[in-house]
């Protein structure tokens, strides 16, 4: 099943012979695993940033266009409006999700990703997307402009993602 290649190289100066065994498929799987981790993480992060930005602009842009009052006069309850904006923010990046699924699929087919990891990765993405959409909607409700809502959402998301490291950074220097 696995093809092994033996390369023998003779050194002219020392008269020594080295034998290098290369297992092609094992190396391919290792490199594919690294590629899937890097590309999958980049695409997942880009989609989550897209969800957060779309959510941060959703209600604030309605107010800036003066369409928020007409939205409130519909027979929809405020919870239904917020749920629609929240779900719309999550689904706004649906055109990037096949790229993420293709990356994970290549990882599974190449043996660099366990097939049982794909549903867990998808569930993890959904949880983070829900959190990003909720954060963006909250800043969209309380900010005075859509630019501030986007900026506060990105800064709060970064703060929640890497801010806990700032607590431990002084401890590591001791």
pTM score, whole prediction: 0.79
pLDDT tens string 107-129: 898 887 889 999 999 999 999 99
Cα separations in angstroms, 24 against 7, 42, 43: 13, 27, 28
CA nearest neighbour of 128 among 29, 65, 45, 72: 45
Unique residue bearing structure tokens 């959904």: 126
Cα separations in angstroms, 59 against 27, 48, 155, 173: 50, 18, 19, 44
The DSSP line for 89-128 is HHHTTTTTHHHHHHHHHHHHHTTSS-TTHHHHHHHHHHHH
pLDDT tens string 82-97: 999 999 999 999 999 9
DSSP 1: -
pLDDT at 8 over 80: no
For CA atoms 149, 155, 156, 161, give the dihedral sign: positive
pLDDT at 15: 56
What is the overall mean pLDDT for the chain?
Answer: 85
């Amino acid at each position: 099943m696995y093809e092994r290649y033996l390369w023998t190289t003779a050194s002219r100066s020392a008269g020594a012979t080295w034998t290098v065994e290369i297992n092609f498929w094992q190396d391919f799987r290792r490199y594919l695993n690294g590629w899937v981790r890097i590309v999958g993480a980049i695409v997942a992060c880009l989609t989550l940033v897209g969800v957060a930005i779309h959510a941060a602009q959703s209600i604030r842009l309605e107010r800036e266009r003066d369409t928020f009052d007409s939205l409130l006069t519909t027979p929809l309850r405020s919870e239904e409006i917020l749920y629609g904006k929240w779900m719309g923010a999550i689904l706004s990046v649906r055109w990037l999700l096949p790229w993420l699924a293709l990356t994970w699929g290549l990882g599974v087919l190449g043996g660099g990703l366990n097939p049982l990891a794909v549903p867990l990765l998808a569930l993890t993405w959904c949880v983070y997307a829900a959190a990003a959409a909720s954060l963006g909607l909250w800043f969209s409700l309380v900010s005075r402009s859509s630019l501030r809502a986007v900026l506060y959402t990105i800064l709060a998301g970064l703060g929640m993602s890497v801010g806990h490291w700032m607590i431990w950074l002084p401890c590591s220097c001791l």
